[in-house]
Every structure is written in C-alpha cells, then in structure tokens.
Amino acid sequence: MDLITATAAFIEQKFADEGSGHDWAHIRRVWLMARRLAAHSPEANPEITELGALLHDIADWKFHGGDYEAGPRAARAWLLSQHAPEDVITRVETIIREVSFKGLGVDTPVSSLEAALVQDADRLDAIGAVGIGRAFAYGGHKGRPLHDPAVPPVAHESFASYQKNTAPTLNHFYEKLLHLKDRLQTPAARAVAEERHAYMEGFVARFLAEWEGEA
C-alpha cells in the first residue's frame, strides 16, 4: 500500500467516531479539494499536498489543551511508522502548523505552495452549502442560538479574542465565513469560492428576511 492510501485508511479509522466538525467526512473533502487544486498548480508536489490535507486535523490543538505542536507531533509519529523520509515529514509538519484560521485581524501566511493549497481547501470546506451546514452543526454542538439581532458581530483582532467567542451562529458568517473568499492564497481556490460565496450571501439575506417574517 502506498503512503497516501495507508494514511487515508489510518485517518479514516482514527476519525470514525468524531462528531466535532473534524470528522473523516471533512478531512476527505479537504483531501479531494486539495488534490483538485494541486492539479491546477503544476509546481505543487501532489504527495506533500495530499499528506498535508489528510493529516491537517490529526490532533487539533483545540482538543489538546491548546498544544499547537500536538498535530505536527502526531503526524511525525505516523509518518515515521511508515518510514517516510525526513524531508516529507518536515514539510507536512509545516503545513499542519500553518493551516488554521485565527481571527479576522490575524495574518496566517504560508511558507509553501502545498501549505497554501491545504489552507485553501480547508477554508473552502467552511463556505458554501457544506460550510453553512458545518457552522450550524458547530453552533448546535455548543448550544448557541441561530441568531440574535441584539448581539453585533465582532472583527476579532487577536487569536485569543477569536477563541473566546461565544456568539450566535449567524455572527460567524460576518466574523469569518463571508471573508474567507478574500483570504484564499491560490487562483484555483478563488475560482471555486465564487459560487460558494454567492450561495452563502444569498442564504444570509434570506435568513434575515425570514427572521423578520418576510420572504
């Protein structure tokens, strides 16, 4: 079995019972999208891109007491067990460190094309129809209301402020989701984002109209 197939099988079984939004279905979509974006980027190394996508959420720091090295460490352990070369391991670790969104006011630069593709694929999964579904699933999981017109959205300038947020789910569209299309790194991802973004804008407009008994 090649390294990508083995990694996909490993992650699929590891995330089989995960209900936090970082389930295998999310990782699979990010993997498929990263592969699609890589096909438009001839300079990208497809193996590094696919491994980065498959391993990007392997040990999310949110669930590991804020330990940002938990993900890279878990990826390294897996890749070492598969006898992957050191340069592949290092490049995948870097992707995992660089992928996450950290609030509107926080830059999240990438140091490789492969990291750009994985970051873009992860962000594309937060917008469009699936992104809308994920946002409300997350909000429901946290017990938050759908919407509260009395709670204005906040442009989080720091990672700490973004993390502390407990706002109603519709605010998340203004605080993150509607900005993602302008924060993509690659032209191929920007092309995919157009339709997803327009769909989400239409959704929010209808949501607000229905909220007031209109539409």
181 binds, among ligand ADP, Ni ion, none (CB under 5 to 8 A by kind): none
Structural tokens at position 73: 């460490």
120 contacts ligand ADP (rule: CB under 6 A): no
Task: Tell which one of 3, 38, 51, 57 touches Ni ion (CB under 5 A).
Answer: 57
Which of residues 128 and 188 has its CB atom nearest to ligand ADP in the complex?
A: 128
Task: Tell which one of 131, 186, 192, 200 touches ligand ADP (CB under 6 A).
Answer: 131
Task: Tell which one of 50, 93, 122, 175 touches Ni ion (CB under 5 A).
Answer: 122
The angle at the Cα of 23, spanning 20 to 25, to the nearest 5 degrees, equals 140
Letter string b/e over residues 86-124, b meaning 16 or more CB atoms within 10 A of that residue's CB: eebbebbbbbbbbbbbebbeeebebebbbbbbbbbbbbb
- Interface residues for ligand ADP in 175-194 (CB under 6 A)? 176
Which of residues 21 and 46 has its CB atom nearest to ligand ADP in the complex?
A: 21
Question: Rounded CA gap, 72 and 78, in Å?
Answer: 10
Question: Rounded CA gap, 55 and 16, in Å?
Answer: 14
- One-letter identity of residue 101: F
Do the beta carbons of residue 159 and residue 178 sit within 8 Å?
no
98 contacts Ni ion (rule: CB under 5 A): no
Task: Tell which one of 33, 48, 117, 135 touches ligand ADP (CB under 6 A).
Answer: 135
Positions that interact with ligand ADP (CB under 6 A): 21, 100-101, 122, 126, 131, 134-135, 138-139, 165, 169, 172, 176
Positions that interact with Ni ion (CB under 5 A): 57, 122
